[in-house]
Amino acid sequence: MDVFESVREAKFREKVRRFAREHVASVAQRVEEGMFPRDILQKLGEQHLLGTAFSKTDGGAGLGWSFETIVAEEISAVSAATEMARLASGALYAAPLAYFASKAQKHKFLCPVLAGNKVGALALTEPGAGSDAGSIKTHAERRGQGFVLNGEKRFITNGGVADFLFVFAVTDTAKPPKSGVSALLVPRDSQGVQTVKTYGLLGMHGANVVHLRFRNVDVPEENVVGGLHRGFPILLDELDRERPAVAAGMLGIARSAFESAVEYSSQREQFGRPIKEFEGVSFKLADMLVKLEASRLLILKAARLLDEGKLARLEGAVAKLFATESAFEITHQALQVHGGIGYTKDLPIERYFRDARFMMIGGGTSEIMRFLIQREIYKKSMGLSS
């Protein structure tokens, strides 16, 4: 066992890296051109690389979040948009089901997704509720033995292609927002579910990100997850688990950019020698490696805590903040090392740069991460739990 991972984890990493090389690399350009990687999700499911953290009885691999971050890093290193689709279905959508759903709900809505036969999407963000998740307006009104869902969700990854949606909605308007929210399972083909818009993105081409509208959508009571008005704790748990995996995805992009910069600086010559011999270039590589190594340790710390059944709210926020901002800086400097050719589409470095920008916004902005971190600092200083 080295500082970063056990022998078992290292063997697993090689398995995922081989999968990415054999299956993801060949379609990365097609995904960049707009293809949603549904076939890759199915292959990932066949290899138990969806729901890596979840129990085998639920269709997962039973390996924990440290292994999940390995998958996120290795797939993203080859195609970040493919990883975005995988993560949205096999972790963001799946985690609340794995930890809070009933056996019947798991059988119907989780197992097919982890097998890769169906696609899931988490529907939280709204036009008026982004960083302030407690201000969601989408509501589900009680009607007989079920609910009628109305509202809008935007920036929903996989939302236009998903078979199942995990929707957070207000079910009791008389209660404070954090006490009146429920988690609902909504089949994407339910009457009244509409795709208003599919967004064109700066990076992450091939990822399906949409604006959804719900108009009088019938939701049976058995599709409520974790109990009525118990949605907000489920939401917080999902976000805590999401952040280390998101950070690992950005680590994958940054690692690829770094490796490309090392190779290019060793081959490119100016003034009669390789540009790596100029400290203006080589010092950039040194700084990149420092950020990569620190990111990996912070991600691993958060994942290990989750695997021990402990809360990782602070550690997950720290990992996400540092890894996402570092990934953008690394890809920025890696592009600079490549010079003019790096700004063209002849090399993937410009894609790494564009893709890395996203996760300083998605999954909680850098500003929100700083807010969470300072809040946890002061809670700890006063001896309060999270």
Active site residues: 242
Which residue, among 71, 124, 80, 173, has the nearest Cα to 363 in the 3D structure? 124
Alpha carbons 238 and 329: distance in angstroms, whole number = 27
Alpha carbons 165 and 5: distance in angstroms, whole number = 34
Cα pseudo-dihedral 318, 320, 324, 330, rounded to 10: 60
Contact 219, 147 (CB under 8 A): yes
Q: Which residue in this structure is represented by tokens 């950070």?
A: 247
> 163 burial class (0-12, 13-18, 19+ CB within 10 angstroms)?
middle
How does 178-214 read in b/e, with b if 16+ C-beta sit within 10 Å? eebbbbbbbbbeeeebeeeeeeebebbbbbbbbbbbb
Q: Which residue in this structure is represented by tokens 């009104």?
A: 141
Alpha carbons 170 and 165: distance in angstroms, whole number = 16
Instruction: Name the strand (E) or helix (H) holding 269.
Output: strand 269-270
Alpha carbons 101 and 18: distance in angstroms, whole number = 33
For residue 165, give the 3-state DSSP assignment.
Answer: strand
